Every structure is written in structure tokens, then in C-alpha cells.
Chain A
Amino acid sequence: MAMELLCCEMDRVRRAVPDGNLLHDERVLQNLLTIEERYLPQCSYFKCVQKDIQPFMRRMVATWMLEVCEEQKCEEEVFPLAMNYLDRFLAGVPTPKTHLQLLGAVCMFLASKLKETIPLTAEKLCIYTDNSIKPQELLEWELVVLGKLKWNLAAVTPHDFIEPILRRLPQDNEKLPLIRKHAQTFIALCATDFKFAMYPPSMIATGSVGAAVCGLQQDEEVSSLTADALVEMLAKITNTDVDCLKACQEQIEEVLISNLQQFQEQGDGSKEEEEVVDQASTPTDVRDIDL
């Protein structure tokens, strides 16, 4: 008895159980689909806003943010949500590249506070920037980012769609945890790639689940659905255009393959310069995925 109480208190993360009423209610999914567009970045900012920041720099900061989130065992949503903040900020504010890592840290700081029981601290994030920024700067920029995001922090992310989609798929319950895990990894992968930044979260989620199911079905020959039937069913769940969804799923699979290749090259080749390795580093979870 006493032990049980102690265990509860020591448990780091407290989570609510999934609420079947919410997950099965059609209105919840419809409302998510209605509001998701509000939280997309307003433009392709490399073309129309940023002068100093290049796409590869976004990739560098995204890779770093993912590493921090994984090392700190953040909730899965924290990283994509932080990237959403970063993209929305950059879509409005021309920013020098020297501020980019600070911004990434601020976005993780905010996303972590919104989503986690015990959030990342300012001090810790500063250490992760190799102390190139001070906690006070982080806190001041936090207000700047909040202001520019108009305090709209509860953005819809692809993760919001994962459970509603999985609940509507005719899949064995035993397979669901693995599908979920792979889909989450695909979502993180998408968040590191700017090509997906303007896609609606529902499409990324649907494509990720599709890619996860297809990937797992290649292993076992127990596919109850053909690939086409699966895409059509998924498209129906999130009201996505079938062709768009197919294209999205293919892009996700391509990104996975190119990441895996980069990872292998990294492993085979001799140690290159640190910066090159950084750009090519792979989200660690991808290593677990068998194609």
C-alpha cells in the first residue's frame, strides 16, 4: 500500500487515459480538420521573408531540436509543435541566422511547457546551445515569440490526428502500438523537412499512418488491405484528396529512405567534418525502422 503510493509520486509523467468518447466522436475530428489551417505558416518564408536563413539551416536547427527532445525524452508532440512555432515565427519576422538556435530553444521551451508535466528548463536549454545564449535572453525572446504568434500556442499538430485515425482503421489491436510508433517517427521526420511545413497536419498524419501500415505490411504477409484500398480508406477518414495523400505518403517514404541512406553513409564513410555530419544526422528512431 505504502509502496504503491510512493510509486505514484515518483512517477515522472502523469497522463490521462485516452478518452474513448473524444476519440470516437465525429465532431472532434471535424473540428480539428476545420481549425488546423489556422496554424499553418502564412507563406513559404525562404522565398518571401528570410534573407539570411537558408533551407539547410532550418534542417540543422530542426535536427538539433529533435536530438534535444529525444535526449530529454520529451513527449512526442513537443518537437513538431516547436517546429510549428518556429515556422510561424519565421514566416513573419526576417531573422539573422545567428538568432536561429535561440529561436529553436525558445520554441522548445514553449512547446514543452504547453505539453509536458515537467517542462524543459531555460537553464537546460541554454546548456544545449553550448551556452551561446543566456537564460535571460531565452526568457525575453519567449515574450517576443509569444507576441508574434499572438499567443496562439495550442496549434493543431499531426499528432492530434493519430489516435482518431487509428481508431477508425480495421487493424489488429496488437499491431497498433507499432503502427503508432512508426507514424510518430514519420511525423518527426516530416517536421525536420521544410517541404512538409505548409501541408495540413491531417495530411501529414494520414500519410504517416499510411506509410507506417504499408511498411509493416511488407514484413508480414497478412495484409488485409491492398495499398490502394488503404489509401482510400485513410483519405476518407480525414477528408483528404486521394491523389494528394498518395503523393504525400510517397514523399514521406522518400524522406525516410534518404535519411536512412545518409545515416548509412555516415556509418560507412570516414569521419567527416563535424558540420557535415550534423546536417546529415538522422533522427535516432529511424534506425529502428525496417523497410
Chain B
Amino acid sequence: KAGELDSKFTRTWGIHTHEGHLQGAAGTMSEPSRDARPIPRGSRACRRLFGPVDSEQLQRDCDALMASCVQEACDRWNFDFVTETPLEGDFAWERVWSLDLPKPYLPSAPRRAQDSLGRSKRSSSSPALLQGTAQEDHVDLSLSCTLVPRSPEQPEGSPGGPSTSQGRKRRQTSMTDFYHSKRRLIFSKRRP
């Protein structure tokens, strides 16, 4: 039973631990043997509301929207998250070594291999943040960024962003720092 509880725990909290890929997607982990909430036979709730769905259009729109998310992040952080390259802008990026990340935060190859739903695409979606030399139970590489003063008067162009004073280094030393930063990194959008 302990195993089952474990797996429930993982599934429930997958959303927090695997932010990049959301492996917590409930259907993807091993299911408990029985479904506590089966769909009743002939359920009226099983219906399509707006006619046929065009899978190709769905895919095109999905790609376009994901691209716009990446572009927003790119503009916000002057960092190309696809090619993992720093760009010109307010932030100076540098590699950081020895950031002790526990194993659950790594994209683990075996789990990806088991994935029947083509999730490998997702797992590679943020190479900048989770690439590196995986040791026994730690990964050692991440990125840190420094806010570079561009002009004497730094315009506050990014409300909601880090309020780092000029040139002060923001080294990501703890788990929370790392994930907090990462969340903003990829999906931050300016508040109106």
C-alpha cells in the first residue's frame, strides 16, 4: 500500500515538482487498479458541444500560442530559451555550477522513455534550465542572471519582475529561488 500512496502523492503534487512538463498529468502515471469514479454507462455528460474538432488547426494554434509564450519570456528576460542563448538586454546571463538540485527535479530519461503520449517534446521544452551533468542525485548546472544597469536611471520596465538593485547579483542558491525564478522566466507577462 505504501507504493500506491506514494504514487498518489506524486500525482497530486506533480504539478509543483515538475513545473516544466507537468508529469503529474494524472493519466500518465500508473493508475490504481480500480477507478473510484467510473463514468456511468450512457452518461449524458459524454457529448461534443461544438461539432467536429479539427486536429490540425488545434495543433497549429497550440504551436502558435506556445511560440508566443516563449517569445514573451524571451523578450522579458533577454534569453532565448529554445537555443539556450543569452541575448542583448537588461540581464547578463552566466552559467552557474554546483546548484544542488535533488533528483526529482531532473528530467529523468527512463520516465520519458516509458511515456506513451509523446511527452518527450515537452520534456525538452526548457533545456536552458534543466540541462547539465546529472550526477548520482544532483544536477550541477543552471543559469543565473544579473540585472545590468543600462542607463543611470534604470527604467522600471517590468513591474512584477525582480526589483534587483543595479548590478547586484541574484544567485539562485535555494530550491525556492530557483523555481520562483524559473516560473517568471518562462511565463511572465507584463501586468497591465
Binding site for B on A (CB under 8 A): 9, 12, 42, 57, 60-61, 64, 67-68, 71-73, 93, 96-102, 109-110, 112-114, 116-124, 127-130, 132-137, 139-144, 146-148, 150-151, 153, 278
Interface assignment of B175: CB less than 8 Å from any CB of chain A: no
Q: How far is the CA of A33 from the CA of B66 in the complex (A)?
A: 33
Count of chain B residues with Cβ under 8 Å from any Cβ of A?
Answer: 52
Determine which of A98, A100, A141, A278 lies in contact with B57 in the assembled complex, contact meaning CB atoms within 8 Å.
A98
Binds A, one of B93-101, B104-112, B144-152, B184-192: B184-192
Interface assignment of B129: CB less than 8 Å from any CB of chain A: no
Find residues 41-65 in chain B having any chain A CB closer than 8 Å to their own CB.
Answer: 43-55, 57-59, 61-62, 65
> From DSSP, what is the main secondary structure of chain B's interface residues?
loop
Q: How far is the CA of A122 from the CA of B187 in the complex (A)?
A: 23
Q: A130 near B26 (CB under 8 angstroms)?
A: no
Closest 5 CB pairs of A and B: A147-B69, A122-B27, A121-B27, A67-B45, A132-B48
Q: B48 near A146 (CB under 8 angstroms)?
A: no
Q: B119 near A139 (CB under 8 angstroms)?
A: yes
Find residues 5-56 in chain B having any chain A CB closer than 8 Å to their own CB.
Answer: 8, 11-12, 14-15, 19, 22, 24-28, 31-32, 35-37, 39-40, 43-55
Q: How far is the CA of A129 from the CA of B35 in the complex (A)?
A: 19
> From DSSP, what is the main secondary structure of chain A's interface residues?
helix
Interface assignment of B103: CB less than 8 Å from any CB of chain A: no
Q: B187 near A130 (CB under 8 angstroms)?
A: no
Q: A101 near B1 (CB under 8 angstroms)?
A: no
A-B contacts, 20 of them at CB < 8 A, read A60-B49, A73-B37, A99-B61, A101-B53, A113-B12, A113-B15, A114-B15, A118-B37, A121-B31, A127-B39, A128-B43, A128-B46, A134-B55, A137-B58, A141-B58, A142-B25, A146-B22, A147-B187, A278-B47, A278-B49
